[in-house]
Amino acid sequence: GFAAGGPLAPGRPALVGEQGPEIVVPRFAGEVVPRRMLGSADQRPVSITINIAGDSAPAAGRESATQIALAVRRALQRAERLA
């Protein structure tokens, strides 16, 4: 599981889930951020949905994944500072 966080390898299934077990198979490398790193328990969960259309080449996907990860991380850090 990923309760303590950790990297996700592309194409490899991983067991995750806050409300019971779920399996995720990422297309690109990613990372699970443990709940303890997200702040106090009284905060509402955050859901982020990203839809991408365009070049399906692996290099383009990796570049998009990197850009998205950085943007999401910055947004979460900004939200944490404003909370």
pTM of the entire predicted model: 0.41
pLDDT tens per residue, range 28-71: 877 777 766 666 555 666 677 777 777 778 888 788 888 888 88
Q: What is the pLDDT of residue 49?
A: 75
73 inside domain: yes
60: containing domain: 6-82
Stretch (H or E) spanning 7: strand 6-8
54 inside domain: yes
52 inside domain: yes
Distance CA 74, CA 61 (A): 20
* Lookup result for tokens 């309760």: 3
On whether the CB atoms of residues 7 and 31 are closer than 8 A, the answer is yes
1 inside domain: no
* Lookup result for tokens 């070049």: 55
Classify residue 38 by its DSSP letter.
G
20 inside domain: yes
Beta-ladder partners of 29: none
pLDDT tens per residue, range 5-40: 677 777 777 777 766 777 777 778 777 777 666 665
